[in-house]
Amino acid sequence: MLCWVDMLRSHYNWCLGDRLTQFNQQYIQGNYCDIRTKAEACPITCFVSKNGASGEPWKEDKKGVLKNPRRNAGDIQITSLPILKSARPWYAGIDSTVLQQNVKRLDTAYKNFFVGVACPKGIGRGFPSFKNRSNFSSFSYAMGVKTKGSKIYLPKLGWMRYHNSRPIPNGYVVKAATIRKRQDGWYVSVRIEDKSIPILVAKPLSEVKSVIGCDLGITKLVHLSDNFQFDNPRFSTNKKVRRILKIRQRRVSRKVKGSKNRKKAAAKVGMFHKRISDKRTAYQWSVANKIVSRKVDAVAVEDLNIS
């Protein structure tokens, strides 16, 4: 799985670089291969594709006839995956849906950026960036995942034991799964579906009789309109945590760079950050559960762009 993450990160960065180069060729350099010398672009000097990604932009039917419409950048990169596997056979060891989801992950990053640019409030994500080992640690399956008791089957990886923290109810079908590397091991997040369960429809405003409002605070985490307040434990900034974090980070800085002892000390810092994150997440879910458990028809929150 570590091998897969490394290869998928390289594939993601290559796809992003390919799109950036094509965009530069299409909208900045135009018909020139070099703007300074104004040399005309031709297949000998550079690629001249205008599709946002290098590859075949047209789809062929069974008779070999080209079809409209043209493929977008994501479809071009997905259809070029067999070429990648033949050129670099080690990518054939990765499940095909995992490679496809890796390209779709880049598509989602592009979509989030352009939606934010078009939004009048400017709420959105930044432009997709190249990934390194610290911010690329997961991959997703689109099909083929099965569970049986305390074992899970992952295509191309096989059956393996896992801690079944939340058993899948009867009647549900596994639709997808995401494998993520964290400081203390590997985690799997399974998405399930049961089509017999009706889709929840929100109440119309005419039927809403009671409302509770939530105001985010600083000294207190949440203020409710019925004068109830939730404390802010400050899991990452209280005196004890800041002292422990200072000591552990100092131990990392004193170790020789590149040594195994430095990696061990850094792992302890990572585990401490994970523990803080888990406490914060658990507390937020607890607060959310208490808010929605109130006997009201609607919950109102502030429309704030906060982290």
Decide if pLDDT at 34 tops 90: no
Q: Per-residue confidence at 201, pLDDT binned at 50, 70, 90?
A: confident
Q: Per-residue confidence at 122, pLDDT binned at 50, 70, 90?
A: low
DSSP the chain: -HHHHHHHHHHHHHHHHHHHHHHIIIIIITTEEETTTTEEP-TTTS----SSSSS--SEE-TTS-EESS---HHHHHHHTHHHHHHHSGGGGGS-HHHHHHHHHHHHHHHHHHHHHHHSTT--SPPPP----TTT--EEEESS--EEETTEEEETTTEEEE---SSPPPTT-EEEEEEEEEETTEEEEEEEEE-TTSPPP-PPPGGG---EEEEEE-SSEEEEETTS-EEE---TTTSHHHHHHHHHHHHHHHHSPTT-HHHHHHHHHHHHHHHHHHHHHHHHHHHHHHHHHTSS-SEEEE------
Lowest mean pLDDT among 64-78, 133-147, 292-306: 64-78
Decide if pLDDT at 50 tops 90: no
The reported pLDDT for the residue numbered 43 is: 59
How large is the average pLDDT for residues 109-128? 74
Decide if pLDDT at 221 tops 70: yes
The reported pLDDT for the residue numbered 170 is: 87
Lowest mean pLDDT among 17-21, 63-67, 222-226: 63-67
Percent of the chain with pLDDT strictly greater than 90: 55
Give, in degrees to the nearest 5, the angle at Cα 104 between 102 and 110.
115
How large is the average pLDDT for residues 201-205? 85
CB 280 within 8 A of CB 235: yes
Cα separation, 248 vs 246, whole angstroms: 6
The reported pLDDT for the residue numbered 306 is: 63
Decide if pLDDT at 1 tops 70: yes
Lowest mean pLDDT among 32-46, 75-89, 140-154, 183-197: 32-46
The answer, yes or no, to whether the previous bond of 89 is cis (omega within 30 of 0) is no
How large is the average pLDDT for residues 64-92? 85
Tens of pLDDT, residue by residue over 232-290, are 999 999 999 999 999 999 999 999 999 999 999 999 999 999 999 999 999 999 999 99
Beta bridge partners of 154: 158
- Nearest by Cα to 140 from 100, 111, 81: 100
CB 122 within 8 A of CB 114: no
The reported pLDDT for the residue numbered 54 is: 74
Pairing of strands 220-224, 229-231: antiparallel
The backbone region for 145, taken as left when phi is positive above 0, alpha when psi lies in -120 to 50, beta otherwise, is beta
Decide if pLDDT at 35 tops 80: no
Domain spans of the chain, in order of start: 4-118, 138-193, 205-301
The reported pLDDT for the residue numbered 197 is: 85
Q: Per-residue confidence at 149, pLDDT binned at 50, 70, 90?
A: confident
pTM above 0.75, yes or no: yes
Quote the mean pLDDT of the chain: 87
CB 177 within 8 A of CB 157: no
Q: Per-residue confidence at 47, pLDDT binned at 50, 70, 90?
A: low
Decide if pLDDT at 51 tops 70: no
Lowest mean pLDDT among 54-58, 138-142, 163-167, 199-203: 54-58
Which comes out higher in pLDDT, residue 246 or 166?
246
Q: Per-residue confidence at 153, pLDDT binned at 50, 70, 90?
A: very high
